[in-house]
Amino acid sequence: MANYKNLIEKMINSYIISKGICDADIIGAIRSIPRHIFVEESFSELSYSDAPLPIGHKQTISGIYTAALMTSVLELNKNHKVLEIGTGSGYQTAILSNLASEVYTIERIRELSLKSRTILDGLNCKNITFIIGDGSIGFKEYAPYDRIIITACSPEIPKPLLDQLKDGGVMVMPLELDRKQNIYVIRKNSGKIEKKIIAPANFVKLIGKSGFAG
Ligand code: SAH
């Protein structure tokens, strides 16, 4: 993919800036990450469109607008410790790694975790800890987290994740309620939980103890 830098610029203009996401740090992060290396070679060009694409094991890489939108509501800074559930291809992880201090990313499918790790090591992302397991119960060892992002859809907000979110923290995730899937921003303030819909969504299922049954 010799000309991928042009494709990234086009993608940023068509699917990010024109849809209202203008944060310079997020755009800078997206500009610095080659997206095609996270998908199979036959999908290289398509990885710069706005479609979710297969990454094997019946899972998908999120569309770029969705990834950018979920990142933007987290309002990340270089002091943040972030927990990500659903490493998948590792593309979203790369964005988080660029904008936060530490990233802990959990994936239940071993092969996907190992593959994403190889790619992210190749990009020299050093602040990521890869965990293989059920992320619906979070990862207590490194809690609490300033930010939590779940990139798989759940029927309810996993209670262990709410417990592992810092007070004043923000979480973003797709929830399926009344058979409709939407992305929610969830805030925890003085122990009180507020949730707000920001966009419709189409994610694969969060499979685990506090998600859908496998
Ligand atoms: N952000 C990823 C999205 C991957 S799709 C990307 O852009 O590539 C969602 C991922 O969540 C899948 O890889 C799936 O295996 C994983 N997943 C589903 N349930 C999980 C669970 N309980 N714990 C950890 N990962 C889970």
Residue 64 lies inside a defined structural domain of this protein: yes
For residues 25-56, b (16+ Cβ closer than 10 Å) or e, as one string? ebbebbeebbbbbbbeeebbeebbebebbebe
Residue 29 belongs to domain with CATH number: 3.40.50.150
Please tell me the distance from the alpha carbon of residue 124 to that of residue 141, in angstroms, as a whole number.
Answer: 25
| Rounded distance from Cα 206 to ligand 1 centre (Å) | 7
Render pLDDT for 148-159 as a digit per residue (tens, 0 to 9): 999 999 999 999
Residue 66 lies inside a defined structural domain of this protein: yes
Nearest CA to ligand 1 atom 6: 61
Around 188, how many Cα atoms within 13 Å sit in the side-chain half-sphere?
19
In this predicted structure, the answer to whether residue 98 has a pLDDT above a threshold of 80 is yes
Phi-psi region of 90 (alpha: psi -120 to 50; beta: other; left: phi over 0): left
Pocket around ligand 1 at a 6 A CB cut-off: 55, 59-62, 85-86, 88-89, 91-92, 106-109, 112, 134-136, 151-152, 204, 206-208, 211
Residue 182 lies inside a defined structural domain of this protein: yes
Residue 23 lies inside a defined structural domain of this protein: yes
| Residue 190 falls in the annotated catalytic set | no
Identify the band that residue 1 occupies on the pLDDT scale cut at 50, 70 and 90. Answer: confident
Would you tell me how many other CB atoms lie within 10 Å of the CB of residue 134? 20
Residue 210 lies inside a defined structural domain of this protein: no
Q: Which of 62, 97, 116, 136 is catalytic?
A: 62
Render pLDDT for 70-81 as a digit per residue (tens, 0 to 9): 999 999 999 999
Instruction: Name the pTM for this structure.
Output: 0.98
Nearest CA to ligand 1 atom 10: 86
Residues 184, 176 contacting (CB under 8 angstroms)? no
Phi-psi region of 133 (alpha: psi -120 to 50; beta: other; left: phi over 0): left
Please tell me the distance from the alpha carbon of residue 31 to that of residue 29, in angstroms, as a whole number.
Answer: 5
Residue 211 lies inside a defined structural domain of this protein: no
Residues 53, 47 contacting (CB under 8 angstroms)? yes
Residue 214 lies inside a defined structural domain of this protein: no
| Rounded distance from Cα 17 to ligand 1 centre (Å) | 26
| Rounded distance from Cα 86 to ligand 1 centre (Å) | 3
Nearest CA to ligand 1 atom 17: 86
Domain of 37 in residue numbering reads as: 4-200
pLDDT at 2: 74
Residue 149 lies inside a defined structural domain of this protein: yes
| Rounded distance from Cα 66 to ligand 1 centre (Å) | 14
Domains identified in the chain, total number: 1
pLDDT at 214: 84
Residue range 163-178: mean pLDDT, rounded? 97
